Chain A
Amino acid sequence: AQSVAQPEDQVNVAEGNPLTVKCTYSVSGNPYLFWYVQYPNRGLQFLLKYITGDNLVKGSYGFEAEFNKSQTSFHLKKPSALVSDSALYFCAVRDIAGNTPLVFGKGTRLSVIA
């Protein structure tokens, strides 16, 4: 079975500082990995995904994520946080092999303080 862990319920960072939101996954085969963001009273918005190839993936709004197969991680990063980045972030995984649905982590609430 596939699963995702987001070990931090809440991450606080000062505006202008780099931010990291952590994600680890478990799949039996190779993963497709995704990050989504949810603003208050809105649906989830796609940020970026890893399919294959370069381990560093660049996405929307200056976000990037690094795929690390040995550590089964896919941490979300941004070099300089903005107050407007404050939101709920979800990591998701699905196994490449087989018809399995996307599995989401519990989410991490990012708070960027001015």
Chain B
Amino acid sequence: DSGVTQTPKHLITATGQRVTLRCSPRSGDLSVYWYQQSLDQGLQFLIQYYNGEERAKGNILERFSAQQFPDLHSELNLSSLELGDSALYFCASSVVAGSYNEQFFGPGTRLTVL
């Protein structure tokens, strides 16, 4: 158990809908990262927050947004969902941002868009 929690575990929804994925980092970790894992694209970095502020952006679509709250939990919002958004979404956390510290990954949320 990494100490990073993600809810829900599974999510099934329809095209055009909007969903919210939630992540609680390890106790003491200030930085949260979101990744998308799909069979064809591998593990893609989406976005990073550090202590409530956006720190880095990767291949995140404009339909997707995220935020980190004062209690350090984070939410990833996916809207106008398409079939291609079906994937595993991982959250990871680390003590600080932009360092040599390893990231600790949550168990993931499996999103299925029908």
Contacts and interface: CB of A to CB of B under 8 A. Distances in A.
A45 B2 contact: yes
Contacts of B48: 101
Sorting the interface of chain B by its residue count into under 10, 10 to 19, 20 to 34 or 35 or more gives 20 to 34
B56 A99 contact: yes
A105 B106 CA distance: 19
A66 to B, nearest CB: 18
Interface string A86-112: 000010000010011111111100000
Interface in B68-91: 90
Interface centre among B43, B103, B105, by most chain A C-beta atoms within 10 angstroms, is: B43
Contacts of B64: none
Given A99-B98, A101-B33, A101-B48, A46 B104 contact: yes
Contacts of A107: 42-43
B90 A32 contact: no
Contacts of A44: 43, 90, 92, 105
11 contacts: A42-B107, A43-B2, A43-B4, A43-B106, A43-B107, A44-B92, A100-B56, A101-B45, A104-B42, A104-B45, A107-B43
B100 A32 contact: yes
Interface residues of A, number: 21
Interface of A: 32, 34, 36, 42-46, 49, 51, 90, 96, 99-107
Interface in B1-58: 2, 4, 33, 42-43, 45, 48, 55-56, 58
B60 to A, nearest CB: 11
Given A42-B108, A102-B33, 13 more contacts: A32-B100, A42-B107, A43-B4, A43-B90, A43-B108, A44-B43, A45-B105, A49-B100, A100-B98, A101-B48, A101-B58, A104-B43, A105-B42
